[in-house]
Each structure stands twice: as structure tokens, then as C-alpha cells.
Structure 1
Amino acid sequence: MAQLSIEEATHLVARALRQAGAGDAMAASTARALVRAEAQGLASHGLSRVPQYTTHLRNGRADGQALAAMVKHKGAAVLVDARQGLAFPACELAVATAITTAQTLGVCFAGVTNSHHCGVLVDHLRAVADAGMVGLGFANSPAAMPAAGGKHPIFGTNPVAAAFPRRNADPLMIDLSLSEVARGKLMVAAKNNQPIPLGWALDAQGQPTTDAQAGLAGSMLPLGAVSSPKGSMLALIVELLVTAVVGAQFGFEASSFFVDAGNAPRIGQAFVVIDPGALAGRDVYDERMETLIGEMLIDDGVRLAGARRMHLEQQAMTSGLTIPDALKTQLDLLAA
């Protein structure tokens, strides 16, 4: 295993992205996000994404020279165009604009169109919590799940996220995809030739399967799909919020992130920022938050949302990151 400090990892990733054609600002923004994910123990969204991103930059699936821009701002509604670049600069611009708008108007909806994979969705909301406001996040992704009662993939795993600031404590950070399990679990099972439980995936013919390879060739099942269509309905809501409302592509119109060749995904993200001071007031908000958290913590074993990943990140700030030697070698080659 290879050891890297946070600073070393950030510089290495940024160099690899620049070598693939990313501009300085895009490379820096993306590197910070991927290293932060790795520090939180989220390897699937961390440094392992660098080879994927660099391939997409070289193959034209992402434009490394794109400059995200705000193209509409009407009252509390903001639209940012990522211009087919990597998502992180566009998301940063959308969130920053939403914060300043919500400070004036009390609330803001900021959409991002013509975008790419946005990494750990809730991390985009940290600045919102730091500003003392509530943040919600939504994103779509290339098709992986069928509609309720359907068989072929239409929706992505379509994550939702939320950040709630606390008084003198880390914010609550909630982040979940709307598939029954993460697609990465199927990838691990397939690699190890292990079966998967029924209810995780369908094969290419739309039939339930315990074969991980067949599931990867088919589609993921939405959250709770075995007993109800609720997960699929939530995925539909997210899909429409970040496509029809902001003008991005549907998941079924975007090539998979896990193939080298394909189209520019042009998917969407959306962020909602709410100032508690514009509603109940910050004092009431803080009291209500701490009352609920106090009640939750009466039971042993309750873990607050985001606490584990924040703890791991704080450890990594001093102890650094540990990654497989093969990944380190690959990153060195990409950065050379």
C-alpha cells in the first residue's frame, strides 16, 4: 500500500487531470473533491475516479477547457451551465451563488446543466452548512434503474443529499442513492465470483437475478422495489428536477460513466439553499435541531449522519491517505 499526504494527493491528482487536458481551475476543484472523498473512506468516489475522468477528458466525453457560467438568475432561481466540463467548478459556482441569493431572499434553487459526474453530492453542501443554512442536493446519472413495473434502465441511481448546520457541532450530512444497494457492491461480487441476494438487480431480460455479472449487464433495482414502487417514484422526482427543470439530459440519454467511449453525459444537478433565519429564526432552528438530536442519542448505537466520514477525514488530515500500490502507480503515470 502507498501512503500520501492530503497535499501530495491533491497535487498528484491535479497534475493527472491537467495532463489529460483540464484547465487549472477545473483540475484543482476536481482534485480537492476526489481527495476529500478518499479521506472520508469513500474510495469509490475518490482517487479511483481519476483514470475514468482523465479518459473522459481525452475522449471528449468531458471538455477540460470548459468554463462554467451562470446563464440565468431570476429572483431565487439560478441556472449554471457546466458546458460539458467536469462538474465540480459548475457545482461550486451554483452553490456559492445560491448562498448569497438565500442570504438576501431567504431561499434559492440553483440548477446545473450540461454536467458530468459530481462525486460525493453532500460535499457540495458543506459551504451551505458553514454559512449557517440548510442545503439540499439532487443529481441524476446514466441509466441504471427501471421505472416502476418496467424492465429496462431509465433512471440513474439519482442521489439525494442534505446538510443541516448545528450550533457548535459538525453539521448533519445525509447522502444516499436511490438504488437498493450501490452498484459497487455488484462490481465487487462479480469480481469475486460471488452471488448477490434477490432484490438487488435484474438481468438484461428484466428478470430477478442472483448473478452479479448478469445484474451489471441488466439494471439495478430501486430502493424498496421488492415491496413497493416508492424508490422508483423518488428517482422519478429527482430525474425531473435535474433535467426538465434545468434542461439537462435524462439518464437514458447519457452513456455509462464506466465506459471509455460514449457521449458527453450532459446530466444535471440541483441545489436548494434555505436560510432558517428567514422562517422560524436561527434560535428556534438551533433549539429544534438539538432537541431532536438529543432524543436520538438517548439510544445506544445511534450514529449521526456524516459523523463517521467527518471523523475519518479529520484523521486523514494528519495521517494521510493509504491507497493500493497499483492505483498509485497508475496515478503517477497519468501525472507524468
Structure 2
Amino acid sequence: MRIPFDELLERTRTLFEENGLQPEYAKITAEAICTASLRGTDSHGIRLIPHYIRAIKAGRIEAGVSFDFRKTSLSTGILDARHGMAHAAVARAMDYATELAAEAGSGFVAVKNSNHCGAMAYYALRAAEKGMIGLAFTNATAKVKVFNATRPFFGINPLCVAAPMEGEEPFCYDAAPTVMSNNKVKMVAEAGQELPEWVAADKAGKMTRDPALSKMLLPLGGELGGYKGYGMAMVADIFSSLLSGMPNGLQVSSMYPSDGGDLDKKRYLGQFVGAIRIDLFEEASVFKERMRKTAEEVRNLNREDPEREVMIPGDPEKKVAEKRRREGIELSGELQDLFGI
């Protein structure tokens, strides 16, 4: 069953309000989750709504709290999510970051006592839509195999950067330090499919194509350059864990009960967001036009495979969003039950 994006947004907002979120936070949470699915990031979109509702009911997520923001300098601050809904917390943190940047030129906010916040693109794009460069990081459960080690240490900690462009939606690079996120591996398992090679490893650290045996994910860079992938994870960990004062590495709690993550236990995740004013470095219109020109030059490069387009980061998501706005977004049976459809 498919439903229009606007209807999905409203049903999701209503569901979270019914489960205790303040109206403002429910609206932001619905936008973040539904936008992920609209853009084709299904692993971090509406499929996780049942998980979040269970986490609220079990006590991991404190639905009714208000966030606390403390400004620490002209351009920095800390937001205490108070174990509330992280999508709303990180979005509000970015709003504070853009407010700081408007005055100081740049703004950076660390988020503490947080939860899983979904796809990072939503937050970085929040800054880009205001004409700024946006940055967003989060930590996660230790799942990335360390190069030449037999076990993981850092989480699948994504790095996200967004920047405005002339004549189209902003550029957005949102990527994990692995070929797939852990939630995508779970989607492969749910579909009864095999993983591609060099995506996951079993408990002994050996590559596996069976998602049921996946205990860690292999870093970007493969056999020769895997240190690059887990190095990216460490960079995100520095920003989101160490600056926020939250647990890092092996101390980061698990998301799912199947991985030992009790839904009645707080997660203590950390995030970090930033916003940078472009006009203090370059005329904004010139920057946006050069972004557009750069994108077009890349897209117009000669194709190695004539059947496939040359794209820049964010292009696949833009295409999926356009299609899903026309055709609607697929709902699972579980979501239909939750929405009472």
C-alpha cells in the first residue's frame, strides 16, 4: 500500500503526539523520518517508527521532555536532549547553530543524552536551506571492523555535509564509513537476500555474505585501504562522542534488543552539528553558481557505462524523492496497523 507524502507526514506526526511528544517535537520528528523515506533512505526512515514507539513505551525515549540549550560562547553551545526524541533534538540543535552563525559567522552545537536520530541529511540540509554550509555527525554502536583487527571499535558513524546550489536543491553528502549501514543489512536480512562481498564480517572477523551472521561491517577502503573507512568513523566519534561528553567506541550502547540493547535503558548518544556562513568567505551568489557549475561539469563527464548516469552526492536521493512525491511511499503491514489504516 502506498500513501502520499503529505498524508504520511500527518499520520506520523499524529502518532508521535499520541505517544507523548510535544506538538512541535512531533512535527519535526515526523518531517525527519518521513523525509528520509521520501529521499530513498529507507533504512533510516518510516520502517523505524515501530522501533521508536516501542522505545518510548519501554522508557528508553522520554517522550514528554523539553530540551535544554546552553550557549557556551558566541559561536558554540550544548543541547541536552534529556533522552528525548533525537530527531527533534538534533534539528533544534541545528536551528541554534544557524542562529549562532548568523551573528558570529559560524555556529557549532554538541548534543548530549540523545538517542538514534535517523538520517543526518535532514539536519545538514536544514542549514543549507538557510544559505549556509551544514555539518552533521552522530555516534553509534560499535559495528565497524578496525583494519587488521578481529573486532569493531567505532560505530557506523556517518559524516554529512550540505551546501546550497543555484537553481536546484542543495548538495548533500551523507555517508557511513561502510558500504552499508547496519539498518540496511537488517533490511537485506528481512528480504531473505545475500549481502554483496566485502560488506560484513562474522564474529571471527571473516567476511560473510549471510546477513544473519553479520556481527560487524567492513570499513570503506577494502583490503588495502580499510584504515580510511574506520578513520572516518573515528573522526565522527571525536565530534559526536568526545565533544558531547558521551560514551564512545565500545561503550556506546546498542540500538536493538537483538544486539543487547534493552529498550528500557537510556542510550546516551551524542551528535554534533555546525553551520557556516558563506558570505563571510565568498559572495553567496557566486558560491552557489560555482556549486551548480561544478555539479554540471561532473554530471557531463563521459560515461564509462552509457546506461548509467554520472551523479554527484545527493542526486540519487533527489531522483527518488521526485518519484515518490508522484507515486507515494510504501507502507508495511506493521505501519498500516500502527496508523489504523
TM-score, structure 1 length as denominator? Answer: 0.89
Aligned mates of 1:20, 1:226 — CA distance in 2? 46
Superposition deviation, residue 211 in structure 1: 2.9
User: What does 1:155-174 align with in structure 2 at a 5 Å threshold?
Assistant: 155-174=154-173
More displaced 10-residue stretch of structure 1: 3-12 or 266-275: 3-12
Counterpart of 1:313 in structure 2 is 321
Shift of 1:204: 1.5
> How far is the alpha carbon of 1:237 from its aligned partner?
1.1
Alpha-carbon distance between aligned partners in 2 of 1:192 and 1:155, rounded to the nearest angstrom: 27
Question: Structure 1 residue 317: deviation in Å?
Answer: 4.0
Give the one of 239, 243, 246 matched to 2:244. Answer: 246
Out of 296-305 and 152-161, give the one that drifted further: 296-305
Whether the 8 Å contact between 1:148 and 1:233 is mirrored in structure 2 is no
Contact (CA 8 Å) 2:253, 2:268: kept in 1 or not?
no
For the Cα contact (< 8 Å) 1:116–1:265, is it kept in 2? yes
**Any conservation in 1 of the 2:125–2:163 contact (CA below 8 Å)?**
no
Within the candidate set 206, 218, 222, 1:221 is matched to: 218
The amino acid across from 2:78 in the alignment is L
Kept in 1: contact 2:167–2:292 (CA 8 A): no
Counterpart for residue 133 of structure 2: 134
TM-aligned CA distance change 1:290 to 1:50, over 3 Å: closer
Superposition pairs for residues 65-214 of structure 1, below 5 Å?
Answer: 65-191=64-190, 194-214=193-213
Which residue in the other structure is 1:231 paired with? 229
Within 2, Cα distance between the matches of 1:304 and 1:164? 13
Residues 166 and 196 of structure 1: CA distance in aligned 2, closer, same or farther (over 3 Å): closer
Structure 1 residue matching 2:49: 3-state secondary structure: helix
Contact 2:132/2:277 (<8 A) preserved: yes
- Matching of residues 13-52 of structure 1 within 5 Å: 13-52=12-51
SS at match of 1:78: strand
Where do 5+ consecutive residues of structure 1 fail to align? none
Please tell me the residue identity of whatever aligns with 1:310: K
Name the CA shift for 1:127/1:253 in 2 (closer, same or farther; >3 Å).
same
Matched residues in 2 for 1:191 and 1:283: separation? 46
Secondary structure in structure 2 of the residue aligned to 1:154:
strand
Deviations 1:136-181 (A, max 9, x none): 2111112212333332332111011111101222211111111132
Structure 1 CA distance for aligned equivalents of residues 290 and 280 of structure 2: 15
Which stretches in structure 2 are left out of the alignment for 5+ residues?
304-308
Q: Identity over aligned residues, as a percent?
A: 25
Q: Describe the shift of the 1:186–1:95 C-alpha distance in structure 2 as closer, same or farther (beyond 3 A).
A: closer
Shift of 1:185: 4.4
Write out per-residue CA displacement over residues 211-253 of structure 1, whole angstroms, 9 at most, x where no aligned residue: 32111xx211111242221111111111111111121222533
Looking at structure 2, the residues matched to 112 and 87 of structure 1 have their Cα atoms a distance apart, in angstroms, of 9
* CA RMSD after TM alignment: 2.3
Judge conservation of contact 1:26–1:64 (CA < 8 Å) in 2: no
**Does the 8 A contact of 1:116 with 1:266 survive in 2?**
yes
Query: How far did 1:119 drift?
Result: 1.3
